């Protein structure tokens, strides 16, 4: 029976994508081992197609009984020789301990240091406090402590044939044909503080549509009504929501396939931002309450937009002052001009070459 390695995936979709260099390095450093991926449904699903794991433990349970103990019970018969924590959760670390995982490697945070065999201190600033430091680099540091080479900074994703077929259906229903498509992503699972106004997204969509682009409003089930409302506000046939009663169900796999074939992504600071880098798609990211430094990935075809305000970045899910200025003061003109820069549009309005699936 081969040795096994349990890898605990970060709890957010975007973080899972930022962890892909570390995950690829862990796979390469353990030839012949059985790699077990452990995580929540969304982060695990976004990694589909990469062939990172030989087995998966996917848990949507919360609390001690349906979360911690459930994971522990599934790990126990597998007897992982080594375990690596790219999540910072105390409960997942306890689950690994109770599940008999050996060689536990991770950051000593949230009181879990005593449960780790190799406990790394988080990167600190000059004052001894936790530094605003890119998660990608922390994931890489954990992987190297578990025996890998330097993982690098290249994010990886893959799409499944079924997701590509679903994206073909979306393109057909939207009538995009061979025209270039800009994707707008108005959602943000983090909280209301990350949202850019609905009216601003509608105005931006209308501008792109008037210049001959197709515009797809990305969404999951939770953002379907918002995407449909923005499309309705634009009143333009080339602005369409991903959620269509006649089309495929929105999913992470479908979102990946759509971003992969797009010409440009404009998004809040959320998971799909990192899809763009993994597929080498230009991306404009609208930052509000979050520090860019936590999620910097050095995508060469990206522009970050953020207002300098005395009150931020505050890292709050809801604006504590109630004005939401960090997002409302990002103008449509600023976002449109950043988009034009990435698309290489100067002077007039020539259309770039359309990206095709593949």
pLDDT tens over the chain, length 358 residues:
789 999 999 999 999 999 999 999 999 999 999 999 999 999 999 999 999 999 999 987 666 566 789 999 999 999 999 999 999 989 999 999 999 999 999 999 999 999 999 999 999 988 888 899 999 999 999 999 999 999 999 999 999 999 999 999 999 999 998 899 999 999 766 556 678 999 999 999 999 999 999 999 999 888 889 999 999 999 999 999 999 999 999 999 999 999 999 999 999 999 999 999 999 999 999 998 889 999 999 999 999 999 988 887 878 888 888 788 888 899 999 999 999 999 996 444 444 433 333 3
The DSSP bridge pattern shows strands 264-268 and 239-241 to be unpaired
pLDDT reported for residue 319: 81
The answer to whether the peptide bond before residue 307 is cis (omega within 30 degrees of 0) is: no
CB 354 within 8 A of CB 179: yes
Contact 204, 334 (CB under 8 A): no
| Sequential DSSP letters for 166-217 | HHHHHHHHHT-TTS-EEEEE---TT-GGGPPPHHHHHHHHHHHHHTT-EEEE
pLDDT at 193: 66
Rg, C-alpha atoms of the chain: 21
Tell how strand 181-185 and strand 4-8 pair up: unpaired
* pLDDT in the model for residue 188: 67
Taken in order of first residue, the domains within the chain and their CATH numbers are: 4-145 (3.40.50.2000), 161-343 (3.40.50.2000)
Please count the helices (runs of H) and the strands (runs of E) in the chain: 14, 12
Burial class (CB in 10 A: 0-12, 13-18, 19+), 291: middle
CA angle 44, 50, 55 (to 5 degrees): 55
**pLDDT for res 288:** 83
Helix (H, G, I), strand (E, B) or coil at 305: strand
Comparing CA positions, the residue from 14, 2, 22 lying closest to residue 40 is: 14
């Amino acid at each position: 029976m081969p040795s096994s390695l349990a890898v605990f995936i970060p709890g957010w979709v975007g973080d899972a994508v930022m962890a892909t260099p570390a995950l690829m390095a862990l796979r390469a450093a353990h030839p012949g081992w059985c790699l077990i991926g452990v995580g929540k449904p969304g982060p695990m699903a976004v990694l589909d197609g990469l062939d990172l794991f030989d087995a998966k433990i996917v848990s949507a349970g919360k609390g001690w009984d349906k979360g911690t103990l459930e994971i522990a019970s599934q790990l126990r018969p597998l007897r992982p020789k080594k375990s690596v924590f790219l999540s910072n959760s105390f409960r997942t670390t306890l689950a690994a301990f109770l599940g008999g995982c050996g060689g536990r490697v991770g950051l000593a945070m949230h009181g879990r240091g005593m449960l780790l065999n190799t406990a790394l201190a988080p990167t600190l600033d000059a004052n001894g406090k936790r530094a605003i430091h890119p998660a990608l680099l922390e994931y890489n540091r954990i992987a190297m402590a578990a025996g890998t080479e330097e993982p690098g900074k290249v994010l990886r994703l893959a799409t499944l044939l079924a997701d590509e077929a679903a994206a073909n259906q979306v393109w057909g229903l939207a009538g995009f044909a061979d025209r270039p498509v800009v994707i707008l992503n108005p959602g943000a699972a983090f909280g209301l503080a990350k949202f850019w106004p609905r009216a601003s997204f509608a105005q931006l969509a209308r501008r792109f549509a008037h210049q001959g682009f197709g515009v797809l409003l990305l969404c999951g089930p939770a953002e379907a009504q918002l995407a449909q409302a923005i499309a309705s506000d634009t009143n333009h046939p080339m602005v369409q929501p991903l959620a269509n009663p006649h089309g495929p169900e929105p999913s992470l796999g479908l979102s990946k396939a759509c971003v992969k074939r797009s010409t440009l992504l404009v998004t809040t600071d959320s998971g799909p931002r990192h899809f763009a880098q993994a597929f080498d798609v230009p991306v404009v990211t609208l930052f509000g309450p979050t520090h860019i430094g936590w999620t910097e990935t050095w995508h060469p075809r990206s522009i970050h937009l953020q207002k300098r305000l005395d009150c931020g970045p505050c890292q709050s899910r809801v604006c504590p002052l109630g004005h939401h200025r960090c997002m409302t003061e990002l103008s449509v003109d600023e976002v449109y001009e950043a988009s034009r820069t990435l698309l290489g549009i100067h002077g007039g309005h020539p259309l770039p070459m359309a990206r095709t699936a593949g």
